[in-house]
């Protein structure tokens, strides 16, 4: 072989090696999606209550496009899979591709179906997530090993937030990488003094003293509503029922403020006052209950079916979530033919106003008495 031919053979071998090298590089090349061009984020809120939000859109589209091209999906397929009408998470979960495969199954070639199936498998193997300063490692559920999380919360200036990309297979053409961001620019959290907030709170009492029909409830004004602090106030009262006039009820201002601070990002309540207290007053004493209006209603609606004198009058409250309505029972001796000890009438839907028990438009009474062997009621009223 002359030198000329040898040169041709060497040149051909070199070209073949070069092509093989390019193919190998292309087959094994992995794309880093965590580039400055793809990453945008916001840091907002207040110091110690700050939020880090990663803009997922570019990252999701870049990841999906890279995997799609590796699996030879057409430009039409890529456009449909990454269309803006789909959410970022929907794209990363492979749902857009699954929908496309399902909707176009009959018109796709078998090769296209296989490529789409491979794309779905690979994109579901990509995890793209943030790690807050107190998080050490990736945690996933057994139902979905893929981790997608674009936020970190309760941050303060100077802390580090880590964004990570990981994959579950060497076949996925996405590079595993990490990028770290430093939290800065968070303003000081506005502060409210507990003593100032307490000026907009109150404790009111209603009901019948010394019974389970006496209640303590928190009140609040527009200031509390404006700051979204109205819900759950009654939980912090040391006592809410079975009250007596003269005792003291307290609202645990310190514990309430602590719980509020855990659940709001808009301000912090500084505890400079531990409790809000109030002496119980205004409850109606049982001996002062006036049921004359109910008695008039009873006399108006009863029929001559009872025997003997009125034996007892009792008051109790039905299982009404508003704790507004009472029932009054009038007990009499039983009919001669009855084996029971008592017969009684019951007037329903009675309300308490001041010390007066009053009938309402909903009040009702059976004209035929019922019977019982005991006198039932939480409060026994004087017989008139």
Size of the chain in residues = 384
Tokens of 354: 């001041």
Residue 10 has, within 13 A of its CA and on its CB side, a CA count of: 7
Sorting pLDDT into bands at 50, 70 and 90, what band is 157?
A: very high
pLDDT of residue 262 exceeding 80, the answer is yes
306 pLDDT tier (thresholds 50, 70, 90):
low
CA distance to 30, 117, 272, 320, 338, per residue, from 26 (Å): 9, 21, 66, 74, 100
Cα–Cα distance between 83 and 363 in angstroms, integer? Answer: 63
- When comparing pLDDT for 49 and 176, which is higher? 176
pLDDT digits (tens, 9 = 90+) for 55-75: 989 999 999 999 999 999 999
What is the pLDDT at residue 263? 87
Cβ pair 153, 132 in contact under 8 A: yes
Q: How confident is the model at residue 139 (pLDDT cuts 50, 70, 90)?
A: low
Sign for the CA dihedral angle at 339, 341, 344, 348 comes to negative
pLDDT of 186 higher than 60: yes
Q: What is the pLDDT of residue 321?
A: 56
pLDDT class of 17 with cuts at 50, 70, 90: very low
Predicted confidence band at 99 (pLDDT cuts at 50, 70, 90)?
very high
pLDDT band at 143, cuts 50/70/90?
low
Confidence of residue 302 (pLDDT cuts 50, 70, 90): confident
Q: What is the mean pLDDT of the chain?
A: 87
pLDDT (tens digit, 9 = 90+) per residue, 347-381? 999 999 999 999 998 888 877 788 889 998 889 99
pLDDT of residue 62: 95
Instruction: Bin 354: left if φ > 0, else alpha if -120 < ψ < 50, else beta.
Output: left
């Amino acid at each position: 072989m002359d030198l000329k031919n040898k040169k041709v053979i060497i040149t051909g071998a070199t070209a073949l090696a070069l092509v093989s090298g390019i193919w190998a590089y292309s087959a094994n090349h992995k794309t880093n999606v965590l580039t400055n061009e793809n990453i945008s984020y916001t840091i907002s809120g207040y110091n110690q209550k700050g939020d880090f939000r990663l803009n997922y859109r570019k990252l999701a589209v870049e990841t999906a496009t890279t995997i799609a091209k590796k699996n030879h999906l057409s430009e039409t397929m890529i456009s449909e899979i990454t269309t803006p009408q789909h959410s970022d998470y929907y794209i990363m979960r492979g749902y857009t591709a699954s929908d496309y495969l399902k909707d176009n199954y009959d018109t796709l070639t078998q090769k296209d179906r296989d490529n789409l199936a491979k794309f779905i498998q690979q994109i579901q193997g990509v995890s793209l997530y943030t790690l807050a300063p107190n998080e050490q490692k990736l945690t996933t559920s057994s139902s979905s090993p893929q981790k997608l999380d674009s936020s970190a919360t309760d941050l303060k200036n100077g802390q580090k937030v880590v964004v990570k990309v990981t994959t579950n297979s060497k076949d996925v053409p996405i590079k595993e990488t990490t990028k770290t961001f430093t939290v800065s620019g968070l303003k000081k959290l506005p502060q409210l003094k507990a003593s100032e907030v307490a000026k907009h709170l109150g404790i009111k009492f209603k009901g019948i003293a010394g019974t389970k029909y006496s209640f303590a409830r928190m009140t609040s004004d527009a200031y509390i509503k404006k700051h979204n602090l109205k819900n759950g106030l009654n939980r912090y009262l040391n006592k809410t029922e079975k009250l007596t006039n003269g005792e003291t009820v307290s609202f645990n201002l310190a514990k309430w403020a602590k719980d509020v601070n855990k659940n709001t990002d808009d301000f912090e309540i500084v505890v400079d006052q531990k409790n809000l207290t109030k002496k119980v007053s205004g409850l109606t004493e049982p001996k002062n209950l006036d049921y004359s209006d109910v008695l008039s209603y009873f006399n108006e609606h009863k029929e001559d079916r009872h025997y003997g004198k009125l034996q007892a009058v009792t008051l109790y409250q039905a299982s009404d979530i508003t704790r507004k309505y009472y029932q009054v029972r009038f007990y009499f001796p039983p009919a001669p033919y009855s084996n029971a000890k008592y017969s009684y009438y019951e007037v329903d839907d009675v309300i308490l106003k001041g010390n007066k028990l009053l009938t309402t438009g909903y009040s009702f009474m059976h004209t035929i008495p019922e019977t019982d062997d005991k006198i039932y009621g939480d409060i026994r009223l004087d017989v008139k």
